[in-house]
Amino acid sequence: MPAASLLPLFGSAAGPGTLGGPAGSGAGGGGRKAAGPGAFRLTEKFVLLLVFSAFITLCFGAIFFLPDSSKLLSGVFFHSAALQPPPPPPGGQPRAPPQPGGGPAAAAAAGGAGSLERIRADHERALREAKETLQKLPEEIRRDIRQDKEKLLQDARGGKESGPPGLPQRLFRQPVGAVGQEPADPDVRQRREKIKEMMKHAWDNYKRYAWGLNELKPVSKQGHSSNLFGNIQGATIVDALDTLYIMEMKEEFKEAKEWVEKNLDFNVNAEISVFEVNIRFVGGLLSAYYLSGEEVFRKKAVELGEKLLPAFNTPTGIPWALLNIKSGIGRNWPWASGGSSILAEFGTLHLEFVHLSHLSGNPVFAEKVMNIRKVLNRLDKPEGLYPNYLNPSSGQWGQHHVSIGGLGDSFYEYLLKAWLMSDKTDEDGKKMYYDAVQAIETHLIRKSSGGLTYIAEWKGGLLEHKMGHLTCFAGGMFALGADGAPSDKTGHHIELGAEIARTCHESYDRTRMKLGPEAFRFDGGVEAIATRQNEKYYILRPEVIETYMYMWRLTHDPKYREWGWEAVEALEKHCRVDGGYSGLRDVYNNHESHDDVQQSFFLSETLKYLYLLFSEDDLLPFEHWVFNTEAHPLPVLHKDDGNKEENQK
C-alpha cells in the first residue's frame, strides 16, 4: 500500500503536532482546494501537480531515509515503542572502547557504516510493522490503542498499578460457596477424605514424573503430551488448580500457582485445538481466579483469550477448530465433513468468553460468541435438530449427523448454562435449549425392550442405536434444566435425567471391571453393552459421575452416592498404579491392560465431581456457580454484580 494511503487509516492514533495529524489533514486539504471548478488552467494544474508530487516525494524520502526517522514512523503509525539504545554498563564506562590504530577518519567510516546498517534495519522493521498492522482486525487495532493509552496513564502516575497491565483494576470479591462445611455424616466425611487421597496420589506422581508437562504416563512414569495443546505445556497443572483449591490442598495449590506465574507461556509457534485449550486452559485459569483472587490467573486467562481471537477470522465468524497461535492461521480438521467446524467445539466457547469480557472490560470476546448464536438462528434445523457440522465459509450445514454425545454434546450444555450463568436473563439461550430438548425427545430418545432409556444418534433421518459415554452427561443436564422448563414439564425433566443415569449405571455394571465402555449399543439382542472392540476402552472419563453428582444435589436420593462409591472402588482396584491412575483398554477383560495415560481431566472432572458428590450442597452451590464442560466452576453473573464490584480509577 502506498505510504500516503496509510495516513487516513492510522492518522487518528497520532496526537497533535505529530506526523499523522498534519500530514493527513494537509494532503486532504490540498486535494479539496485543487478540486474547485475553473480555478486554474490545464497548464497551471499540471505545474502545480508536479510541484506537489515533488514535495510529497521529498517528505516521505526524508521519513524513510533520514537516520532514526523510521522509529518516528513506527511510533506514530503503528503504535510500537521506538528502539532504545542499549544502556551503558554499570559505572558509566563506554560499551566499546576505540580500537588502537584508528583515527577520526576510521571512526567516521565505521560510524557511517553503522548508521547505514541501522537505517536499513529500521526501514525493514517499519515495513514489517506496517504489514502486521494492516492485517489486524479493527477491534485489535482499537485494543492496541486502548492499551497504549493505559500505559501512558500508568507512566504518568509513576508506573503504579494493582492489576495486570492492560486490564481494568478490579476489587476482588470471592463468590458465595468457594469453600464449604465438612459433611455432617462421618461415613460421608470418610469417603470424601478417600477421594482427596486419590487426588493427592494423582498429583504427587504427576509432580514426581511429569512436572511442567501436559500429562503423566503413570505406568512408564514419564511425561505425556498431546498435540491438542501444541507447544503449550502444563495442562494438568492448570486443569487441577480449582480441584486443589476446593479440596483445601493449599501447598499444592501454591506450587501450581508459582509454576503458572513463572512458566506458563503462550508465545509458542504451534497449532492448537481452540476447543481443548479454551475449556482446559482458559476455563481453568478463570476458575482459579474466581476462587482465589490471584491476579496472575486473570492476566493469563485474558492473554490466552486474545491469542484465540484470530480463530474467528472466517467469512461467517464461526471459528476454526485449529489455530496457530503465533501466525493466527486457522483451519479445520480434515476429516470433518468437507472442512466444517464442529458443533461441540464452536458451541463450547460461550461461558468462558463471556467471563473474559467481564474480567477484561473488552466486549470483543462476548461479541464473538454472540455472533455464533446469530448464525445458528438464521439456519433451518432439520426436524429442529442441530447437525454436528457447519461450514465456516458458506455458513451451511455439512452432513446431517446429529449426536448428543461426541461432536455435539457440550453445545446443548452451554445453551442451558449460558442462561443460568446470566442469572436467567439470557432468554435467547433459554429458548434455544428447550427447543432443542423437545426435538431430542421427539427424534432421538428411545426405550429398549428391557426398559432402559437411551439417546440414539441421527444420521440423515436414520437412527443408530448407540450411546456414548460422553452422552451420559445429559442425565445431569436434563435434571439441571428442569427448574426452567414449562411448569408441566419440570417433573418430566427430572425423571428423564434419572432414567439416563440408570442406563449409564447399567453400562458400568455390565462390565467385568465395573467401569463403563466408550460406547454401548442397543441392537442385535444386547443392551448397554459395547459390541465393538474399539468401543470397549475407558479413559478415566467423568460423564457418568457428573450425572450422579447433579442427580444427588437435585434429589438427594442416596443411590447416587452409592453408585459413585462403586466407581471409586473400581478406579482403585483397576486403574490405580504406583505412578498414578491409568485408563483401561478393555473393561470386559478379566485382567487389566492399562493405556498408560493419566488424563488431565481425571483431576479436573472425575475426582472433582466425586468430591462434590460427597460434600454438602453449600460447596459451589448451583444458584451461584455453573461448571464449564471441563468442570471448572464459573460464578453466575448476578444482575446486581455491577453494584457489588468497584472498578478503581
Residues in binding site for Ca(2+): 629
The 3-state DSSP class for residue 400 equals: coil
The annotated binding site is made up of: 629
Task: For residues 83 and 94, give the distance between their C-alpha atoms in angstroms, rounded to a whole number.
Answer: 19
Half-sphere CA count of 388, side-chain side, radius 13 A = 19
The secondary structure element, H or E, covering residue 140 is helix 138-156
186 grid coordinates: 462421618
CA distances from 407 to 235, 343, 350, 530, 618 (A): 22, 6, 16, 20, 33
Task: For residues 319 and 468, give the distance between their C-alpha atoms in angstroms, rounded to a whole number.
Answer: 26
Q: Which residue has the cell 485449550?
A: 277
CA distances from 158 to 147, 153, 154, 295, 636 (A): 17, 9, 6, 21, 36
DSSP character at residue 390 = E
The catalytic position among 543, 546, 586, 595 is 543
User: Which of 260, 326, 332, 251 minimizes the C-alpha distance to 297?
Assistant: 260
Contact 455, 440 (CB under 8 A): yes
The catalytic position among 276, 303, 352, 413 is 276
Q: Tell me the longest C-alpha to C-alpha distance in the chain.
A: 102
CA dihedral defined by 581, 217, 301, 415, rounded to 10 degrees?
A: -50
Which residues does residue 401 pair with via DSSP β-bridges, in sequence order?
Answer: 459
220 grid coordinates: 512408564
Q: Is 518 a catalytic residue?
A: yes
Q: Do strands 457-459 and 453-455 pair parallel, antiparallel, or not at all (unpaired)? A: unpaired
Contact 517, 587 (CB under 8 A): yes
Q: Which residue has the cell 452432513?
A: 399
333 grid coordinates: 480438521
345 grid coordinates: 467445539
CA distances from 563 to 320, 425, 590 (A): 39, 35, 22
Task: For residues 635 and 624, give the distance between their C-alpha atoms in angstroms, rounded to a whole number.
Answer: 6
Amino acid at 512: R
Beta strands (DSSP E) in 417-569 are 445-447, 453-455, 457-459, 462-464, 466-468, 519-521
User: Which of 157, 173, 175 minimizes the C-alpha distance to 165?
Assistant: 157
Query: What is the Cα 140 distance to its own chain's centre?
Result: 18
Contact 218, 603 (CB under 8 A): no
Q: Is 646 a catalytic residue?
A: no
251 grid coordinates: 501447598
The catalytic position among 345, 518, 546, 605 is 518
Q: Is 509 a catalytic residue?
A: no
Query: What is the Cα 561 distance to its own chain's centre?
Result: 32
DSSP letters of 500-534?
HHHHHHHHHHTSSSSS--SEEE--TT-SSB--SGG
Q: Is 276 a catalytic residue?
A: yes
Half-sphere CA count of 397, side-chain side, radius 13 A = 16
List the catalytic residues: 276, 409, 518, 543
